[in-house]
Amino acid sequence: MIYFNGFLIYKACLENELFIRADFRDEQSLIRALKHGRVNAVILEYETAKHRAKIHNLNIEFATPHTTGQLLIRLNKEKKAKLPAINLAIKKIKQSGQLQIILDKYEAEAKVF
């Protein structure tokens, strides 16, 4: 089974074949489909793929990344007043090293900016 890095799931997908889109409700359903052979490959964010494979005891392989990018946090405009506190909290956990401790604990291969 091949696992692709990205955000959507595709059925009968190999690197040089056409993609056939098959939407699933969530990552849980996506992983179950892969585990039970209903799909041959999926596209999913890397850390999510590692985590879901671990909790579902699924041996996966990673192919060439489909897409890459930074994780962004969106905030409802009605919560705009909370943005300075959120940014300060993020800054503090970065500076204290707590964010790196969390990433290391979960063996995340993320880069912190």
Q: Say how far residue 87 (Cα) sits from the centre of its chain.
A: 22
Q: How many CB atoms neighbour CB 76 within 10 A? A: 7
- pLDDT tens figures, 25-34: 888 888 888 8
Domain boundary among 55, 82, 97: 55
- pLDDT tens figures, 73-93: 788 999 999 999 999 999 999
Q: Are 43 and 82 in the same domain?
A: no
In a domain, 63, yes or no: no
More confident residue, 11 or 48: 48
Q: Are 98 and 74 in the same domain?
A: yes
- The domain total for the chain is 2
Judge contact between 60 and 53, C-beta under 8 A. Answer: yes
In a domain, 62, yes or no: no
Range of the domain at 35: 2-55
Measured at the CA of 74, the angle between CA 48 and CA 71, to 5 degrees, comes to: 40
Q: Are 78 and 104 in the same domain?
A: yes
Segments in the chain forming alpha helices (H)? 27-35, 46-55, 83-96, 98-105
In a domain, 65, yes or no: no
Q: Are 80 and 104 in the same domain?
A: yes
Q: Are 75 and 51 in the same domain?
A: no
Average pLDDT over residues 87-105: 92
Domain boundary among 30, 55, 80: 55
